[in-house]
Amino acid sequence: MLDKPLGFSTRAIHIGQDPDPSTGATVPPITLSSTFTQASPGEHKGFAYARSNNPTRKNLELCLAAIEKGATAAAFASGLAGTHAICAALLRPGDSIVAYSDLYGGTYRIFERVFRPWGLDIRYCDDKTPAAFAKLTDQTTRLLWLETPTNPLLHLLDIRAIVGAVRGKGSWPQPLNPAECAGGGRGPVVVVDNTFASPALQNPIALGADLVLHSTTKYLGGHSDVIGGAVIAADAKVMEPIRFVQNAAGGVPSPFDCYLTHRGIKTLAVRMKQHCENAAKIANWAREQRGFEKVYYPGLPDHPDHALAKSQMAGFGGMVTCVLRGGFPAAKAFMSSTKLFACAESLGGVESLVNHPAIMTHASMPREVRERIGVVDGLIRLSVGIEEVDDLIADLQAALAAAAK
């Protein structure tokens, strides 16, 4: 658009938002048509059937690729639909995935309940060091699956170092032609779930990742009113088999869902600044409260990954995870007492939410697996919204008093 690279907010607002050529509408209209009239068989304007392509979805995908600094993007009906498409497109029975053990419960569920029975070997790494990931990677490994910050314990993984450690190990997935792909022959495809950070704070492709996954339901949509997912690729050739699955399996978002997500992205930068500011104040307050046994937040100087967060991210995020003294009874009392923090699934909306991972987002994990990685019954996850932070702290203070009883 200009002679210099566009800044993040400019890309978020302008890419995929060209004025409508027929009316001049500044905001492109939502295209709801399920089919498109062709001049003759196969002669059309790039759109034939809305499952395959849709103008509103195309605009969103252009924006997603721009804000993640990728070559191309594919939008899905949910983050897990994107996860499914990656695995179905790039893996075959006998292949293996290496993933960090602290990950979203829904990802664990689809790995264990869908793809392990399908014939995949899923290997979980308990150690964050690059050497540990490299040790689990062999010639059957086609995907390296990273989440950073992790859900729910907010560990950070050094993307650049881990990518470097597994290059030359593992194998490029069968559907891809190494000669045509920038990453071909370098080892497994590296996928980073960037949902917790958002592209406003972290760009995994710039750190060496091949694919970025988002639940756009969270910070990208930002208003808790639309479900969606996205996959962004560093190399368009890597996206080809994923886009094939997007069309063939049909897990696509509706035009209205695409519009809402795209609308939310326009304010992502300013929202993330407030999320980060509020979360930092709450984390510092929480660590002074006797009712909390542990407080996890990458912005705290004593967080083990604080230095990595400062170097890898542009902010520390809007998530704070705490362990209450008193176990589940205290957690239940706490979560039943908040007025501004809604007890609800999900995260990343303008409003504050409180979640109990063991019962809610990570219930699909067996208890012994949850507890081994630290998801204990007293653990709660705060998605800090953009309300007045003093009001949020007062809400949490009252809930702590209820938990203490």
**Looking at residue 181, what is its pLDDT?**
86
The residue from 193, 210, 377, 395 that is catalytic is: 193
Give the pLDDT band (50/70/90) at residue 179: confident
- Catalytic residue status for 49: no
- Two tokens, residue 113: 């309940």
Average pLDDT, the chain: 96
Quote the percentage of the chain above a pLDDT of 70.
Answer: 99
Domain identity same for 133 and 226? yes
Give residue 292's domain range. 269-404
The residue from 104, 108, 259, 296 that is catalytic is: 104
Domain identity same for 168 and 211? yes
Amino acid at 188: P
The residue from 51, 58, 263, 281 that is catalytic is: 51
User: Averaged over 260-269, what is the pLDDT?
Assistant: 98
* Domain assignment of residue 229, yes or no: yes
- The pLDDT tens digits of the residues spanning 69-124 come to 999 999 999 999 999 999 999 999 999 999 999 999 999 999 999 999 999 999 99
Domain identity same for 349 and 380? yes
Domain identity same for 15 and 98? yes
Domain identity same for 147 and 252? yes
User: Averaged over 387-395, what is the pLDDT?
Assistant: 98
**Looking at residue 174, what is its pLDDT?**
86
- The pLDDT tens digits of the residues spanning 375-389 come to 999 999 999 999 999
Quote the percentage of the chain above a pLDDT of 90.
Answer: 92
Domain identity same for 167 and 215? yes
Q: How far apart are CA 380 and CA 39, in angstroms?
A: 57
Indicate if the pLDDT at residue 255 is higher than 60.
yes
Domain identity same for 315 and 258? no
C-alpha 371, offset from chain centre:
23
For residue 40, what is the DSSP state? Answer: B
The residue from 218, 237, 243, 332 that is catalytic is: 218
Last residue of a domain, one of 250, 265, 280: 265
Provide the b/e sequence for 313-324 (b: ≥16 CB within 10 Å).
bbbbbbbbbbbb
**Of 169 and 94, more confident:** 94
- Catalytic residue status for 104: yes
- Catalytic residue status for 51: yes
**Looking at residue 2, what is its pLDDT?**
63
Indicate if the pLDDT at residue 396 is higher than 90.
yes
Indicate if the pLDDT at residue 1 is higher than 70.
no
CATH number, position 14: 3.40.640.10
Last residue of a domain, one of 265, 281, 309: 265
- Catalytic residue status for 332: no
Domain identity same for 183 and 203? yes
DSSP strand pairing (121-125 vs 211-215): unpaired
SS3 of 96, please?
strand
**Looking at residue 186, what is its pLDDT?**
78
- Two tokens, residue 337: 């007492």
Domain identity same for 231 and 320? no
CATH number, position 295: 3.90.1150.10
Q: How far apart are CA 285 and CA 288, in angstroms?
A: 6
Domain identity same for 156 and 243? yes
Domain identity same for 246 and 136? yes
How many domains, the chain? 2
Q: How far apart are CA 86 and CA 293, in angstroms?
A: 38
* Domain assignment of residue 3, yes or no: no
- Looking up tokens 């191309």 gives 72
- The pLDDT tens digits of the residues spanning 143-165 come to 999 999 999 999 999 999 999 99
Those residues with Cβ within 8 angstroms of residue 338's Cβ, 6 or more apart along the chain or in another chain: 354, 395, 396, 398, 399
